[in-house]
Chains A and B, each alone.
Chain A
Amino acid sequence: MAELGELKRLPLHDLHAAAGAKFGGFAGWSMPLTYPAGVMKEHLHCREATGLFDISHMKLFAVSGPQAAAALSRACPIEADGLATGQSKYTFFLNGDAGILDDLIVTRVDGERFVVVANAGNAEADEAHLREVVAGFNCRIDALDRVFLALQGPQAEAVARDAGLEIDGLAFMNGRETNDGGFIARSGYTGEDGFEIAVPLDAAQALAERLAADPRVEWIGLAARDSLRLEAGLCLHGQDITPDTNPVDAGLTWAIPKALRAGGSYIGADALAKAIANGPRRKRVGLKPDGRQPVRAGAALVDADGAAVGSITSGGFGPSFGGPVAMGSVDAAALEGPIFAEVRGNRMPLALHPLPFQPHRMRKG
């Protein structure tokens, strides 16, 4: 573990410190893990009112130029030219074996301009990968230095409107560049309605303070961000999906456009077409422990005979669900029988549970 001193600080670090945040390392960044309310209250507040998250550890790129759409359609299994202006798409960078290098959201903000949002842990690798893939195309990649905030929860729309954010007509999985040089999308990582807002550094502090001052809003740390997304059944790259997982095994085939499932010109197309034809070798499933004891990522899963059938990829406690929740990757053949997690020498029975654990409440517009 890196010491906090070696970690990069968020541009608004001092604001979080003043709000009483406890910091911890994540993907090379010193991140607010919790605020004084604590993970449980923060989580519930987000579901009941609105939570404000600083997700500036995530990376934004602009891909622009006459061949931007073609370049992205090579880098990702998408038909970028088929996206309407303003439309966002959840997609991946795949390797040649259709393993997931990262999951990302691509938004067409103009005819020849796209915004790509990638994960913190993969930001540098993603940028290098993207630059290499698009080298032969007539387009450019610009890393956008922004403060990136997420406003999530049933009151997010009212809060955003009152704060003067440019959200008119913005439906779920749509995004736009704003007049102040930022970017706003109706999307998130909690299963709630909400917005992800990229702001130029010079305007960021004022906006964050304005949003945090709204009585409906509380700061939410990374700990509750994780429990919120786990209840929502959303994947964390590096845990639930990795370069060894293809979209079929991850239960994410829905993110591949139908026309690209039998093949295409994107990286990993042949391997992905094969994986789709063969069906999943293993499945990402929701798992609910009996009782109150959580299971954690990395716990081995076994069948009734003790044979290995997979592992827990994310596990913890779901404050809204009111009990422990987990996702695991399980051999497809083992899903018919009982599944146990090995925790500290004990075998804990697990029940399959449909994902998400907490119903999604996004506004599809």
Chain B
Amino acid sequence: MAQTYFTEDHEWIRVEGDIATVGITNYAQEQLGDLVFVELPEKGRSIAKGDTVVVVESVKAASDVYAPLAGEVTDVNDGLSDNPGLVNSAAEKDGWLWKMKLADKAALDGLMDRAAYDATTA
């Protein structure tokens, strides 16, 4: 069963097997406002924790989305090229950003669950 983790950088990570799907939280998209462009990574790119993987651009400003964990990008959400607003309308579902093969699943232990994350934005 998939389990979802959260970071203090307002990302969610849904893990199935050793593949993680990463997006920004609904709280994050509310703070950013209407998105007009999402710069996605190359598939196959190796990423270290903390790397800038995605840049989301709102009407007003560009914001970095960092790798919450190390691994390799296996897929990106191509639908965002034509419809970046999907991140606003469905941040924690259809507005996912990329999928990655985790280098070390044990690193998930340092992340927050939903309740802990919600407490940080309350």
Contacts and interface: CB of A to CB of B under 8 A. Distances in A.
Main DSSP-derived SS at the A contact region = mixed
A59 B122 CA distance: 37
A293 B35 CA distance: 11
A34 B33 contact: yes
Interface string A192-236: 000000000000000000000000000000011011000000000
A40 B55 CA distance: 19
B57 A40 contact: no
B76 interface: no
Given A40-B34, A317-B36, A227 B61 contact: no
B33 A294 contact: no
Interface residues of A, number: 18
A139 B36 CA distance: 51
Interface of B: 33-34, 36-37, 39, 55, 57-62, 81, 84, 88
Interface string A311-333: 00000110100001000000000
A253 to B, nearest CB: 30
Interface in A266-314: 292-294, 296
Contact of A316 (B39, B59, B84, B88): B59
A292 B36 contact: yes
A38 interface: yes
Nearest to A43: B59
Contacts of A296: 61-62
A38 B88 CA distance: 11
A223 B60 contact: yes
10 tightest A-B CB contacts, nearest first: A317-B36, A40-B34, A39-B59, A317-B59, A293-B37, A292-B37, A223-B60, A38-B34, A39-B33, A294-B57
A344 interface: yes
A75 B39 CA distance: 47
Residue of B37, B59, B81 contacting most chain A CB atoms (<10 Å): B59
Contacts of B88: 38
A43 B34 CA distance: 11
A39 B85 CA distance: 13
A43 B81 CA distance: 22
B60 A324 contact: no
B83 to A, nearest CB: 10
Nearest to A224: B59
A294 B37 contact: yes
Contacts of B33: 34, 38-39, 223
A39 B39 CA distance: 21
Contacts of B55: 344
A39 B62 contact: no
A293 B59 contact: no
B62 A40 contact: no
Nearest to A319: B59
B62 A294 contact: yes
B11 to A, nearest CB: 19
B85 to A, nearest CB: 8
Given A38-B33, A40-B34, A293 B39 contact: yes
A344 B55 CA distance: 10
A231 to B, nearest CB: 11
